[in-house]
Chains A and B, each alone.
Chain A
Amino acid sequence: MEALSELLKEYALTTYSVKPNRLVIEIPKERVKNALKVIKEKHGDTGIYVSTIVGTDFPDKKQVRLDYYLVTHPDDKVYVLRTWLSREDPRVDSILDLFPGALSGECETHDLLGVVFEGNPFIKREFFAPTDVASKGVFPLRKDSGV
């Protein structure tokens, strides 16, 4: 099975790795859904799963970074699809129709960081955050949240 980096060569802006040896492929946010569609077609329904979705706030760069960690089966290789969103209005297409397992990660990232996943009808505030934090419009994981 050819490496994911070959498959996504046309999408990738840059590649490097997260320790130990997790290949990172940075792609622009508009192409995230297409890239995942290509990956799913290549590996099949039982060949790959979404392990976790990590959002990180970078107030100095005025961006929010979103990582999709994918694990292939059965060779257990971990790939990272990384994309950058603007901090003022972080929006990206939801991948719920491709991978229903992304439900938990997308709901959590929305409630704690404020990323809007367009097409996901289940995202809401107070998924995790308590009422007094959510009612003030505060996203706890942002660096300037004050909590």
Chain B
Amino acid sequence: MTVDKVIEIPVSLEVPIGPQHPALHEPVMLKVYAEGEEVVKVEVNTGYNHRGIERLTEKNSFYRNIFIVSRVCGICNIVHSDVYVRAVEQVMDIEPSRRAKYLRVLAMELERIHSHMIINAIMAEILGYDTLFMYIMRDREKVMKAKEILTGNRVLGDYLMVGGVRRDLNEVDRERLKNILVKLEPEVWKYIKVFEEDETLWKRLRGVGVIKPRDVTLHGLVGPTARGSGVNIDARREGYDAYGEVPFNIIVRSDMDSWGRMMVRWHETIESISMCKYILENLPSNGPAVPDETRLPRKFPVGEAFARVEAPRGELTYYVMSDGRQNPYRVKIRTPSFNNIINSGFSYIGHTIADVPVILTSYDPCISCMERAIITDLRRGERMYLRFKDLSTRLK
């Protein structure tokens, strides 16, 4: 077997950044070795995004860390602050009110909707379907408006605090949110229909990047990547916050390929819309949603806690250890893309070069920072620079 092409794809992906910095995205270099057009080996090199967040959290107090930890990932910042705040609440033995729990779930589900829509839009763009990308992004703006009504900001909510949330929801805004969701749902069903019936999407996604259930657990893949292969892993089953009371279905498909993973995300979007509607109908009124900030404890007990949350990309875990001081002793963040991207090098082998961006996008890395790929043709000794998107639309 002779390797005649080496392709280096610098890609930005969500990797938990080491100790201090919450760097959400770690640019990663995927080094793809190809013979002709077939991929024979893939190496994943990291390091561009490391911001040293874990070390930074050891230098700041527990309360300030809520803001640092949100900025690990902009796309799923509310789930990051939720799991950190829950771990801290477990160490301090504080329980938030029921209304605050429901509002937290509402914010997290809105985030799931916008994250799934953007990755599907990007998948359409990678396949060359620019019009679909623009349509999905236009409808996604409705969700951003909803997030702004609830949390005060489009992307970085900064919505959580120890003991509850920072803003309450009044009746007028509740009606506005309900109207937005009612208008959004039929549009999502239209996109599901496009993904199920369009032949170009079908041909590019079916049978590409097949992962068997046994490989999913051995390699520790999580989230829609696992659920698209029939493995029913979902951290929401633990019933944290209000997930024990809000009814929902876990979407599992047995397609095992990229198309199955994208369909899991679309159906989860529908599920999230109905969960949000349920929460808005049944918002409990007991307990103030916003705790009294002056009453928050200033001394922290010794202890450790491990909390998990289902982020849009998969299972996100935080380990928080306190030794009695104002700052935590250790905070360990393991984001879902850390497992999904670094451990999935085996799934590219045997596919063509044009399939590599499609498979990578189906694992949902944070794509906005996709740069150019460098193709070195070893036979002719020449280097070419292509956009990531052009890599997937290569004809040769």
* 21 pairs, A vs B, C-beta closer than 8 Å: A18-B305, A19-B303, A19-B306, A51-B317, A54-B319, A56-B330, A69-B306, A71-B315, A100-B219, A100-B343, A101-B339, A103-B342, A104-B338, A105-B334, A108-B338, A128-B26, A128-B46, A128-B50, A140-B18, A141-B19, A147-B55
- Which residues from A are CB-within-8-Å of B220? 49-51, 99, 101-102, 104
Interface size on B, residues (CB 8 A): 45
Q: 17 additional contacts, CB 8 Å, given A46-B214, A49-B220, A73-B231?
A: A18-B319, A19-B306, A22-B306, A46-B231, A52-B332, A56-B330, A69-B317, A74-B232, A99-B220, A101-B220, A104-B342, A104-B343, A111-B18, A112-B18, A129-B47, A140-B20, A147-B55
CA distance A63 to B83 in the complex (A): 28
B interface list, Cβ under 8 A from A: 16-20, 26, 46-47, 50, 52, 54-55, 90-91, 213-214, 216-221, 231-233, 235, 237-238, 303-306, 308, 315, 317, 319, 321, 329-330, 332, 334, 338-339, 342-343
Contact between chains at A19 and B217 (CB < 8 Å): no
Residues of A within 8 A of B315 (CB): 51, 71
Interface string of A99-125 (1 = CB under 8 A from B): 111111101100110000000000000
Q: A45-B217, A50-B220, A56-B330 are in contact. Are A78 and B308 (CB under 8 A)?
A: yes
Return the 3 tightest CB-CB contacts between A and B, nearest first: A101-B220, A52-B334, A19-B305
Indicate which residue in A51, A103, A108 contacts B343 across the interface (CB closer than 8 Å): A103
Q: Which chain A residues lie closer than 8 Å to B50 at the CB level?
A: 128-130
Chain B residues with CB under 8 Å of A101's CB are 217-221, 339, 343
A→B interface (CB under 8 Å): 18-20, 22, 45-52, 54, 56, 67, 69, 71, 73-74, 76, 78, 80, 99-105, 107-108, 111-112, 126-130, 140-141, 147
For chain A, what secondary structure do more than half of its interface residues adopt (helix, strand, loop), or is it mixed?
Answer: mixed
How far apart are the CA atoms of A20 and B305 in the complex, in Å? Answer: 7
